[in-house]
Each structure stands twice: as structure tokens, then as C-alpha cells.
Amino acid sequence: MLIKYGKVIIDNRASQVDKPFTYIIDKDLIDIVKIGMRVIVPFGQGNKLTKGIVVEILDEYESECKLKKIIDVLDDKPLISKELIDLSKWIKENYLSSYLDAIQLVLPPGDFKEVSTFIETTDNKDYKNLTNDEIKIMDLLNSRGKILLEDLKKEIKISGISKILNVLEDKKLLVTTIEIKTTIEKKLERWIKLINNGKPLEEILEGINKGASKQREIIEFLYDVGEISFKELSSSLNASSYSIKSLENKG
């Protein structure tokens, strides 16, 4: 039987399990599992279903112990590349980091436990020559719209569903997207642009009181540079927010 082996970092921060564990990738998943994907594996004496991330795939592996199998794949495509996995290994070896912490550094902002893979249909409605299983999947997607990969697998219990989804994606009948939940606050930066409607500088300055020297200086500066961030404008001209706000109020 054709099989491969995957080395998996388990989602467990205990120091005694801070190492890759080897699992069998059997024939149903052999074309699906890739480095950088999250998987579900049985772990520990109780075979608790646990999330992990694949960091290496082997064609051969010798072991005196009986190996367990990867149960399922959580992602349609790798979250990170092999190159970034290799970088995380280098970080662990050179900075005495744990595997999980090293992997976290190379992942997109967020937590790899809170990654959601969504499936939805495309505008392509050419459903000719689809198998019964493929039609069943497309019917569900058309009725439900965007759906979590995990929910789709629960509702449609088809053997080898991951491989079927890959085929449908190759046919451009569906698309997958990955969303990572993050607690990192997004910062918005304020930008300033002069609205001159093609007017010459002299005409624009006519609408500004000659005593408002700072406002006139801002107008002349913006006329030359075009668009600039509020922070850079304030720093370059030592302009107060009041002067800039006054110009905004004048339109």
C-alpha cells in the first residue's frame, strides 16, 4: 500500500512534547497533505484528537513503534511555505525557542489554532460531467453559500472529500479562502491631500487670510508634494492639528 509519513508539531506547549511526531499519511490523504498544513491527529495514550502542523513529509521511515495515522486535513492549502518552516527550525535551534513559538513567528499575525478555511462557488456554472459526489458538494454550496470546510465535511460524509474539493477547485467551480483570527489591532493612518480642482496656487491662496501664515504655508507645501500623511505633514512644517483642521473646514 502506498503511504508516506508526516512529521507534525502538536498544538501542546508542554516541554516534553516539544518535538515533531511522525504519523502515517495513508493513500486517501497522500495527495492532499502538504508541508505547512494543519492536520488532526490522535495524540497521547487516549488518542485525543489534536491539531498540529506538518513540518516535513518523508517517503520512508523506519520505526519499532506502531505509528498512528493523520485523521484529517484542516486546510485546503498550506498556511506557510516550506522555506518558512525551515526558518522556524533555524530559529528553534539558534535561539532556544520552542517549536510552537518559532512557528508562530513565521505565521501570519494570529494564532494557527484559529484559522478558518472557507469554501464557496465561483461564477462558473458548467457542471457537465461531474460525478455524483461532486454534484452533491456543488448543490450544498449553491444552497448555503460560503461555508466552513469543517462544516462541509460534517454535512457531506464522503470518502476522500479533500481530493474531490481539489478537483473542483482545479475546474474553477469553487474557491477556498483562509482567514486567520488575530488580536493585533489594525492602525489607520490619516492622509492629507489638497483639493485644488486645477486652480493655480495664487487663486487658492486668495481664499486664505494673509495673517494665517501657517495655513498658507501648508497650502503651498501640499500644492508641491500632493498627498502626504498627517504625521509627516505635522513633522515637516511643525503644523498643529488645529491649522490643518481649519483648512479642512474651509474645504
Whether residue 10 is found in the same domain as residue 100: yes
Residue among 210, 206, 215 at smallest CA distance from 239:
215
Confidence (pLDDT) at 184 = 45
Whether residue 102 is found in the same domain as residue 174: no
Does a structural domain hold residue 86? yes
Does a structural domain hold residue 186? no
Confidence check: pLDDT of 111 > 60: no
| Region 120-137 average pLDDT | 89
Stronger pLDDT, 196 or 164, i.e. the higher one: 164
Confidence (pLDDT) at 138 = 92
Does a structural domain hold residue 185? no
Does a structural domain hold residue 71? yes
Whether residue 11 is found in the same domain as residue 100: yes
- Range of 171's domain? 113-180
| Greatest extent of the chain over all pairs of C-alpha atoms, in Å | 88
User: Last residue of a domain, which of 180, 199, 234?
Assistant: 180
pTM of the model: 0.55
User: Last residue of a domain, which of 107, 135, 161?
Assistant: 107
pLDDT category at 83 given cuts 50, 70, 90 is very high
| Region 9-15 average pLDDT | 86
Q: Are 41 and 63 in contact (CB under 8 A)?
A: no
Write the CB contacts of 233 (distance below 8 Å, at least 6 apart in sequence): 192, 218, 221, 222, 239, 244
Does a structural domain hold residue 200? yes
Kindly list the strands in the beta sheet with 20-25, ordered across the sheet, starting from the edge strand earlier in the chain. 20-25, 4-10, 48-58, 38-43, 72-73
SS3 90: helix
Whether residue 218 is found in the same domain as residue 155: no
